[in-house]
Amino acid sequence: MKYRLLGRTGVRVSELCLGTMMFGAKTSRDDSVRIIDHALDAGVNFIDTADVYAGNESERIVGEALSANGKRQRTILATKFYFPQSDDVNDLGLSRRHVIEACDASLRRLNTDWIDLYQLHRCNPDVPIDETLRALDDLIRAGKIRYIGSSMFPSWQTVESLWVAKELGLNRFVSEQPAYNMLDRTVEREVIPAAQSFGLAILPWGPLCGGLLSGKYDREKGDPEGRWQGGKDNFNREATDTAWNIIDLLRTIAREKECSVSQVALAWCAAQPGVTAPIIGPRTFEQAHDNLGSVDVKLEPADFDRVDALAPPRSAVVRYYDEALGIDFGTHTQRSVV
């Protein structure tokens, strides 16, 4: 396992981040703890969760696991907030009220005194970014969080947030977490170039395109417990003919490298310019073990060329990024105030 700097910070994180969206939902508590311990033993020091995962249960499991194994101090722990937590109309979004309440609730569930990376799970055009940044800056000064980041922010909102932080003398984002895989390279157009220009870490989620790039699906059939059934996932995204051709190519490369299809897809993502650590999201221990093995897969320039020929840079063979839950790229109803 290699380690990379988290954006412009001095913190080093493992080249893979353990995502925990399945924990407490499709993955039992015991299996979740086993996966966490295995990942940490393999050299992972970076765990990502969110308050919305499994109705808060993922955070509780992560907190209990890190308390039990005594590895909280050496783990870079990231979580996210934004989505509704109750039927209270104010218990969501990026308002100062919700930022502070969500942070305190996550700290309790994670059983920790601090969060290493606190991320805005989505953007919210209706809330001026200065309100959110001021609240986050106060939490940093209070010692409750150490760094802040964003997820699924369009590049213009990333730049706006950096400008407002500079104007007001506030702590700035150090990372962006976009959907990114070889079937949807949308973020290569503006998001990744902006991140590279301003020193933000890129932490791709969905590097296996929701399991489509795992190799367990083909044109005719697939994993009965997986997300992709009949060529569509649970968000009605559709696998195109070109997507299946790319999966066939990955099978060829996997045979040549004597590794799994998912390991090729993860190795490809981790090697892309600007990427710090792809987020793996295993449902089973076997998937976790397989995903962790991707750090040993070495792709050659010819391998990248073969992928580019079918999935050109900046292309979207499957509309994964634009169809993600909770995206709001609408026009501001209010402008940022500085």
Burial status of residue 300 (CB atoms within 10 A of its CB: 0-12, 13-18, 19 or more): exposed
**310 CB neighbour count, 10 Å cutoff:** 18
In whole angstroms, what separates CA 238 from the centre of its chain? 21
Q: For residues 203 and 200, give the distance between their C-alpha atoms in angstroms, rounded to a whole number.
A: 9
Candidates 53, 118, 180, 321; catalytic one: 53
Q: For residues 310 and 78, give the distance between their C-alpha atoms in angstroms, rounded to a whole number.
A: 34
Taking CA 331 as the corner, what is the angle to CA 162 and CA 87, rounded to the nearest 5 degrees? 90
Q: If you write DSSP's letter for every residue of 151-215 in order, what string do you get?
A: ES--HHHHHHHHHHHHHHT---EEEEE-B-BTTB-GGGTTHHHHHHHHT-EE--B-TTTTTGGGS
**144 CB neighbour count, 10 Å cutoff:** 19
Q: Provide Rg for the chain, Cα atoms.
A: 19
Strands 3-5 and 12-14: antiparallel
Tell me whether residue 147 is one of the annotated catalytic residues: no
Residues classed as catalytic: 53
